[in-house]
């Protein structure tokens, strides 16, 4: 069972590849992705049992050394988070859209988890820095009150505070805007 997620961000691609190898060899975890991104960072997302994810994270951080930018381990991760990171979440109806934008990629992961646990919303996307200058953002949808509640929880989770760039809730988004979010 994948009940935890680990995310490791490094500022070296070579060290990122090496850290990926060691964390996969350390414990029984599954790689969601490991990839280079702008601006020359390397992102590793993996899942597994909480103890395995923590053990693998420690090994990855040790191998990454001074090139580690940020990390997160989230026990009991909401299943929608990993789906949205992989861009496989496509809700049929969007009554309202909430967007949270962050300087830190890990802040988005924490924010997405807090948002979807706080209210009856669906995650549309958790975009982790690829092609957007290392920034990240989270998109949620649901009824207006739920989206407002989810965004509030997402921007106030202790692990994301200080990293927020901006946030918005859009009631009844235009259909073309909805299409652009996929």
Q: What is the CATH number of the domain that holds 19?
A: 3.30.70.1710
Q: What is the mean pLDDT of residues 22-27?
A: 96
Identify the DSSP state of 179: H
Whole-angstrom distance, CA of residue 155 vs CA of residue 40: 26
Could you write out the three-class secondary structure of 46-113? EEECHHHHHHHHHHHHHHHHHHEEEEEEEECCCHHHHHHHCCCCCCCCCCEEEEEEECCHHHHHHHHH
Q: Looking at the structure, do residues 95 and 138 belong to the same domain, yes or no? A: yes
Residue 128 has pLDDT above 50, yes or no: yes
pLDDT band at 130 (very low <50, low <70, confident <90, very high): low
Closest CA to 134 of 102, 166, 111, 160: 102
Q: Looking at the structure, do residues 131 and 166 belong to the same domain, yes or no? A: yes
Q: Looking at the structure, do residues 104 and 169 belong to the same domain, yes or no? A: yes
Tell me which range, 33-47, 83-97, 126-140, is most confidently predicted by mean pLDDT: 33-47
Q: Looking at the structure, do residues 57 and 93 belong to the same domain, yes or no? A: no
Whole-angstrom distance, CA of residue 155 vs CA of residue 112: 9
Closest CA to 123 of 105, 136, 135, 111: 111
**139 neighbors 108 (Cβ within 8 angstroms):** no
Using the 3D structure, point to which of 75, 99, 118 is the last residue of a domain. Answer: 75
pTM of the model: 0.76
The helices-and-strands tally (H runs, E runs) of the chain is 6, 8
Q: Looking at the structure, do residues 97 and 125 belong to the same domain, yes or no? A: yes
Q: Looking at the structure, do residues 55 and 84 belong to the same domain, yes or no? A: no
Using the 3D structure, point to which of 60, 75, 90 is the last residue of a domain. Answer: 75
Using the 3D structure, point to which of 75, 103, 124 is the last residue of a domain. Answer: 75
Question: Looking at the 3D structure of the chain, how many domains does it have?
Answer: 2
Residue 136 has pLDDT above 80, yes or no: yes
Q: Looking at the structure, do residues 58 and 88 belong to the same domain, yes or no? A: no
Task: Quote the domain boundaries for residue 25.
Answer: 4-75
Q: Looking at the structure, do residues 40 and 107 belong to the same domain, yes or no? A: no
Q: Looking at the structure, do residues 48 and 106 belong to the same domain, yes or no? A: no
Q: Looking at the structure, do residues 90 and 160 belong to the same domain, yes or no? A: yes
Q: Looking at the structure, do residues 175 and 85 belong to the same domain, yes or no? A: yes
* The dihedral formed by the CA atoms of 78, 84, 89 and 93, expressed in degrees to the nearest 10: 80
Q: Looking at the structure, do residues 117 and 168 belong to the same domain, yes or no? A: yes
């Amino acid at each position: 069972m994948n009940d935890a997620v680990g995310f490791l961000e490094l500022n070296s691609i070579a060290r990122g590849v090496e850290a990926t190898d060691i964390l996969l060899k350390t414990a029984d975890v599954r790689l969601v992705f490991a990839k280079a991104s702008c601006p020359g960072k390397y992102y590793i997302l993996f899942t597994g049992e909480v103890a395995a994810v923590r053990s693998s994270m420690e090994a990855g951080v040790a191998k990454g050394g001074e090139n580690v930018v940020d990390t997160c381990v989230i026990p009991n991760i909401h299943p929608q988070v990993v789906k949205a990171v992989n861009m496989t979440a496509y809700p049929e109806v969007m009554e309202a859209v909430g967007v949270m934008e962050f300087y830190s990629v890990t802040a988005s992961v924490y924010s997405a988890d807090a948002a979807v646990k706080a209210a009856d919303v669906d995650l549309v996307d958790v975009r982790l820095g690829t092609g957007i200058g290392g920034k990240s953002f989270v998109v949620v949808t649901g009824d207006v009150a739920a989206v407002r509640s989810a965004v509030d929880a997402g921007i106030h989770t202790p692990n994301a505070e200080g990293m927020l760039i901006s946030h918005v809730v859009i009631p009844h988004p235009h259909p073309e805007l909805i299409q652009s979010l996929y």
